[in-house]
């Protein structure tokens, strides 16, 4: 892309917890047997999980991992630049909590 440094991209990817990104995007969530699940934006199923260690969401049906950048792009249909701005703005907001 050229516009963004690696550090900035790493921050976008890691600064907001994947659970928070799911919340911000308004994806439907459920707790199934005490596990947090989100509605997969690709197959609309709940066969999903989040991993706080890697900050990834996973859909077991699609066999796909979503980092925060992937998830915002898929759900909002934004391009990379808009997604970077979107996440950057939310980093400011979540830090205050
Ligand atoms: Zn899926």
CA of 63 to the centre of ligand 1 (A): 7
What's the Cα-to-Cα distance from 11 to each of 14, 17, 61, 91, 97, rounded to whole Å? 5, 11, 28, 9, 18
The pLDDT of residue 55 is 97
Q: How far apart are CA 31 and CA 38, in angstroms?
A: 9
**Domains recognised in the chain with CATH numbers:** 17-90 (3.90.580.10)
The pLDDT of residue 97 is 47
The pLDDT of residue 4 is 87
pLDDT above 70: residue 93: no
Query: Residue for token digits 């996440």?
Result: 87
CA of 16 to the centre of ligand 1 (A): 22
Q: How many CA atoms lie within 13 A of 49 on its CB side?
A: 9
Q: Burial of 92 by CB count in 10 Å (0-12 exposed, 13-18 middle, 19+ buried)?
A: exposed
């Amino acid at each position: 892309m050229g516009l963004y440094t690696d550090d900035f991209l790493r921050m976008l990817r890691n600064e907001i917890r994947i659970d928070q990104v799911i919340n911000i995007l308004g994806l439907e969530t459920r707790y199934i047997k005490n596990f947090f699940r989100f509605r997969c934006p690709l197959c609309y199923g709940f066969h999903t999980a989040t991993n706080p260690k890697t900050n990834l969401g996973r859909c077991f049906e699609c066999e796909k991992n979503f980092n925060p950048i992937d998830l915002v792009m898929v759900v909002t249909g934004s391009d990379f630049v808009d997604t970077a701005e979107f996440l950057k703005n939310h980093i400011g907001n979540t830090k205050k909590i």
